[in-house]
Amino acid sequence: MKEDTIAAISTPMGEGGIGIIRISGEESFNIAKKLFYPKSKISFEEMKPRTMYLGNIYDDLEKYVVDEVLMVKFKAPNSYTAEDMVEIHSHGGFTAVRKILNLVLRNGARLAQPGEFTKRAFINGRIDLSQAEAVIDIIRAKTDKALKVAVDQLKGKISEKIKEIMDSLLSVIALVEANIDFPEEEIPEASPDIILKNISYNIERLNYLKEKAGAGKILREGISTVIVGKPNVGKSSLLNSLLMEKRAIVTEIPGTTRDVIEEYINVKGIPIKIIDTAGIRDTKDPVEKIGVERAMEKVEGAELVLFVVDASGELEEEDYKIMENIKEKRLLIIFNKIDLGQKIDEKKVKEHLPGKRVVKISALRDEGIELLREEIYELIVNEVGSLEEGIIITAQRHIEAINKAIESLKEAKITVENNLPMEISAIYIREAWEYLGEITGDSVKEDILDAIFENFCIGK
Ligand SMILES: Nc1nc2c(c(=O)[nH]1)N(C=O)[C@@H](CNc1ccc(C(=O)N[C@@H](CCC(=O)O)C(=O)O)cc1)CN2
Ligand SMILES: Nc1nc2c(ncn2[C@@H]2O[C@H](COP(=O)(O)OP(=O)(O)OP(=O)(O)O)[C@@H](O)[C@H]2O)c(=O)[nH]1
Ligand SMILES: [Mg+2]
Cα 424 to the center of its chain, rounded Å: 38
Tell which residue, 154, 161, 113, 169, has the closest CA to residue 406.
169
CA of 398 to the centre of ligand 1 (A): 25
Say how many Å lie between the CA of residue 339 and the centre of ligand 1. Answer: 55
Shortest-distance Cα residue to atom 28 of ligand 1: 78
Question: Taking CB atoms and a 6 Å cutoff, what residues make up the pocket around ligand 2?
Answer: 229, 231-237, 250-252, 254-257, 278-279, 336-337, 339-340, 362-364
Ligand at minimal distance from the CA of 237 is 2
Nearest ligand 1 atom to the CA of 10 is 11
Residue pair 330/318 in contact (Cβ under 8 Å)? The answer is no
Atom of ligand 2 nearest to the CA of 258: 23
| Cα distance from N-terminal residue to C-terminal residue, the chain | 23
Q: Is any atom of ligand 1 closer than 6 Å to the C-beta of 139?
A: no
CATH top-level class for 132-212+393-448? mainly alpha
Whole-structure pTM value:
0.85
The closest residue, in CA terms, to atom 2 on ligand 2 is: 337
Question: pLDDT 10s per residue in the chain (460 long)?
Answer: 578 999 999 999 999 999 999 999 999 999 999 999 999 989 999 999 999 999 999 998 999 999 999 999 999 999 999 999 999 999 999 999 999 999 999 999 999 999 999 999 999 999 999 999 999 999 999 999 999 999 999 999 999 999 999 999 999 999 988 888 777 777 777 788 999 999 999 999 999 999 888 888 888 889 999 999 999 999 999 999 999 999 999 999 999 999 999 999 999 989 999 999 999 998 899 888 898 899 899 999 999 999 999 999 999 999 999 999 999 999 999 999 999 999 999 999 999 999 999 999 999 999 999 999 999 999 998 887 777 777 899 999 999 999 999 999 999 999 999 999 989 999 999 999 999 999 999 988 888 899 999 989 889 9
Is residue 385 within 8 Å of residue 217, measured between CB atoms?
no
Residue identifier of the C-alpha nearest atom 16 of ligand 2: 250
Domain boundaries defined on the chain: 6-112, 132-212+393-448, 224-384
Could you say which ligand is closest to the alpha carbon of residue 318?
Answer: 2
Q: How far is the CA of 229 from the centre of ligand 2 (A)?
A: 11
Which helix (H) or strand (E) segment holds residue 14: the answer is none
Dist CA 338 CA 315 (whole Å): 14
Q: What is the DSSP letter of 230?
A: S
Q: Say how many Å lie between the CA of residue 338 and the centre of ligand 3.
A: 18
3-class secondary-structure state, position 5? coil
Question: What's the maximum distance between 2 C-alpha atoms anywhere in the chain?
Answer: 89
To the question of whether residue 235 is assigned a binding role by annotation, the answer is: yes
ipTM value, please give it: 0.82
Q: Are strands 223-229 and 6-9 parallel, antiparallel or unpaired?
A: unpaired
The reply to whether domains 6-112 and 132-212+393-448 share a CATH topology is no
What is the reported pLDDT for 1?
56
Judge contact between 311 and 243, C-beta under 8 A: no
Instruction: Look at residue 316 in the predicted model and tell me its pLDDT.
Output: 93
pLDDT for res 42: 94
Domain 6-112 -> CATH class: alpha beta
Residue nearest to atom 30 of ligand 1 (CA): 78
Residues contacting residue 374 through CB under 8 Å, at least 6 positions apart: none
Question: Ligand 3 centre and the CA of 140: distance in Å?
Answer: 29
The CA distance from 389 to 282, in Å, is 48
Nearest Cα neighbor of 296 from 221, 247, 226, 224 is 226
Verify whether ligand 1 is closer than 6 Å to residue 77 (CB atom): yes
- Coil vs helix vs strand at 284: coil
Architecture of the 224-384 domain: 3-Layer(aba) Sandwich (3.40)
Query: Any known ligand binding at 276?
Result: yes
